[in-house]
Structure 1
Amino acid sequence: MGSNPLSFSRPPQKLVFQGLLFDMDGTLIDSTAAVEQHWHSIGKELGVDPKVILQTSHGRRTIDVLKLISPEKANWEYVKHMESLIPQLYGADAVEIPGARNLLDSLDAHHVPWAIVTSGTSPLVAGWLGVLKLPTPKHLVVAEDVVKGKPDPTCYAMGRGKLGLEVGADVLVLEDSPAGIQAGKAAGCKVLGVVTSHTAEQIVAAGPDWIVRDLRSLKLVVGSEKGVELEISDALDV
């Protein structure tokens, strides 16, 4: 893109999907401040520079980060307990991504199939949804459900299956991290990237189908238990 200014100006586009799969942190909620405080605390506990952890932690499972920095702590009992504390201790530092609540409410109102597919553990997901009082999906894929985390596509393939959809179905993945975008594409899904936690250049390089600033660019047009027609507006013109 060189030195040209970014232009989120693509004309509105209407598309039909049979189901939606949402990443959580950075896509539905912004818990950056909370997670940074959390990793500073854990870094001190483990004797590791928090800045080193934060350079590689976003979009990755905590257990995978711990395998690198403190292998003796890389077990699910420790990880789930540690992550359960984040919403309890730092809940006031998290906010919803603009447009997230309206989009999820509209999906639920029209019985559209959707799920959360996240690198967080089940206690972390439950904690954040409770603190922010966001709609709770019928289906979840969490960190402990898969052997390999993103960018491995297993999580999104599993999410598609939980919606009762097969390979080749029109599924939209919504993601904020390059690793998550790559996972969604590798799973055979269409991917919408949001520029909330990474630069637009980093999101472009990951190769999503559409790039928007946040979820205010998505509007439900028609929805049912068979799927949804969405309008995507103000996407990045690349």
Structure 2
Amino acid sequence: MDFIAPPFEVTFKALLFDMDGTIIDSTAAVVKHWHTIGKEIGVDPEVILQTSHGRRSIDMLKILSPEKANWEYVRHMEALLPRLHGSDAVEIPGARPLLDSLIASSARWTIVTSGTEPLVHGWLSVLNLPQPEHLVTAESVANGKPDPACYLLGLSKLGLAPADDGAQTLVLEDSPAGIRAGKAAGCRVLGLVTSHGADAVRDAGPDWVVRDLRSVSLVRVDEAAGTVTLRFADALAPVAANGGEST
């Protein structure tokens, strides 16, 4: 697949970011984490890792170890992850500059993640990344991705109405489950090829596909309209041709 689409610009009212695979890459830490938890609950860690990305830990445990599927246990074990393995996580390329530009322009953005609140705050603190004013975490909704509830709640927290504003909101995601959740919430979705292959990301149905956030930059702010215009570069050509406005 070729990431060669000409640059194009699209305007949005808000951005909703997934966390792992979109803002940070904690793959190495998560592998160590699930090996520890797998031994603790008597489940082959490789079985967990095959299906864990983009899914809430509590949903995994409901299947693999129902007696551990409670928020007290999940929050505790996820709080330990950045404390024990903080040096194993890195930023997704381009994430910090994009977040900094959104904050500088007072744009509406938040994080919508399958991780718990202690996990999110732990990683953002370890990597010294900005903390959003609003946050949607695993504990916030009854059902995790690909259910759209998390992104619908994210819109609400930013003062947006799904029916009116969803199509003018950008979800940034790396997992097929998260991409489907964003689309089901009525949002536009940018798929990142950071944790899954390009085929898997494209087949989940995003509006555009890029390698990582180095392909995304803020170019204009309209304070009166409350919008930001983003420039996408080096997108996957067949997908971008269907959704972008070439410049």
Shorter-chain TM-score: which interval?
A: over 0.9
Of 192, 204, 207, which aligns to 2:205?
Answer: 207
Q: Does 2:181 correspond to 1:183?
A: yes
Q: Which residue of 1 aligns with 2:227?
A: 227
Of 35, 38, 42, which aligns to 1:43?
Answer: 38
Query: What is the CA distance between 1:224 and its match in structure 2?
Result: 5.2
Q: Deviations over 1:51-79 (max 9, x none)?
A: 00001100000000000100000000000
Q: Does 2:143 correspond to 1:148?
A: yes
3-state SS in 1 of match to 2:130: coil
Amino acid at match of 2:184: A
Deviates most, 118-127 or 165-174:
165-174
Query: What is the CA distance between 1:222 and its match in structure 2?
Result: 1.2
Gaps of 5+ in 1: 1-5
Aligned residue pairs total: 233
Query: What is the CA distance between 1:237 and its match in structure 2?
Result: 1.2
1:17/1:227 contact within 8 Å kept: yes
1:111/1:223 contact within 8 Å kept: no
Q: Which residue of 2 aligns with 1:160?
A: 155
Runs of 4+ in 1 over 2 A off after TM superposition: none
Distance 2:227 2:147 in 1: 26
Q: Does 2:125 correspond to 1:127?
A: no
Gaps of 5+ in 2: 239-247
3-state SS in 2 of match to 1:191: strand
Amino acid at match of 1:174: L
Distance 1:189 1:82 in 2: 32
Q: Does 2:85 correspond to 1:90?
A: yes
Distance 1:150 1:73 in 2: 20
Query: What is the CA distance between 1:217 and its match in structure 2?
Result: 0.3
Distance 2:49 2:127 in 1: 24
Distance 2:233 2:134 in 1: 27
Structure 1 length-normalised TM: 0.97
Distance 1:146 1:33 in 2: 27
3-state SS in 2 of match to 1:235: coil
3-state SS in 1 of match to 2:4: strand
Q: CA RMSD in A?
A: 0.7
1:171/1:189 contact within 8 Å kept: yes
